[in-house]
Structure 1
Amino acid sequence: MSAEYDIAETLDVKGASCPMPVVKTKGAIDDLAEGAVLEVLATDPGSMSDIDGWAAGTEGVELLDQTEGDDVYKHYVRRTA
């Protein structure tokens, strides 16, 4: 199952472990326009809770969805402000 979003950019952080997926996601989302969706590809299972927690506590971002498949975790984050 794959999410259907208008992806503005894909960030590949496969092979990176905590805290780098969140650090790189924050950097990438800061460069996007309001309303843009960032797709993040990670291999760290901890990225599921890390990115969820970061998005929940960060103003201006919204976690739309997270999926898992073939050892890759996909996160879809929208910049809201």
Structure 2
Amino acid sequence: MTVAPTRFDLRGLKCPLPVLKTRKRLTTMASGDHLLVETTDPLAVIDLPHMCREDGHRLISTDVTENGHRFLIEKR
């Protein structure tokens, strides 16, 4: 059975808040959990992948949405 990722709506927030809030949320999750982050911040396409590399999380996918981006992250 696959567990759906936790959805985290950060639309409307500007840099650096999407990264700071995502990092904080990931600290409350178990290793292997998935977090689906939605954002409208144009810098998130740079900042969130960088945060994943820096913190050791796995960035599974990045998708362009109508108003921004969606990131699927696996907590490591």
Equivalence map 1:1-81=2 (5 Å): 6-59=3-56, 61-80=57-76
Matched positions, count: 75
Letter in 1 for 2:70: K
Report if the CA contact (8 A) 1:62-1:78 is conserved. Answer: yes
The residue matched to 2:31 in structure 1 has which SS?
coil
Give the structure-2-normalised TM-score.
Answer: 0.89
**Does the CA-based 8 Å contact 1:55-1:62 persist in structure 2?**
yes
Deviations 1:42-71 (A, max 9, x none): 001110110011111113x11111100201
For structure 2, list consecutive stretches of 5 or more residues without a partner in the other structure.
Answer: none
* Structure-1-length-normalised TM-score: 0.84
CA distance in 2, matches of 1:48, 1:36: 21
Q: Which has the higher strand share?
A: 1
Structure 1 stretches lacking a partner, 5+ long: none
Give the RMSD, CA atoms, in angstroms.
Answer: 1.4
Structure 1 residue ranges, 4+ long, deviating more than 4 angstroms after superposition: none
Q: Which has the higher helix share?
A: 2
Percent of counterpart pairs with the same letter?
A: 23
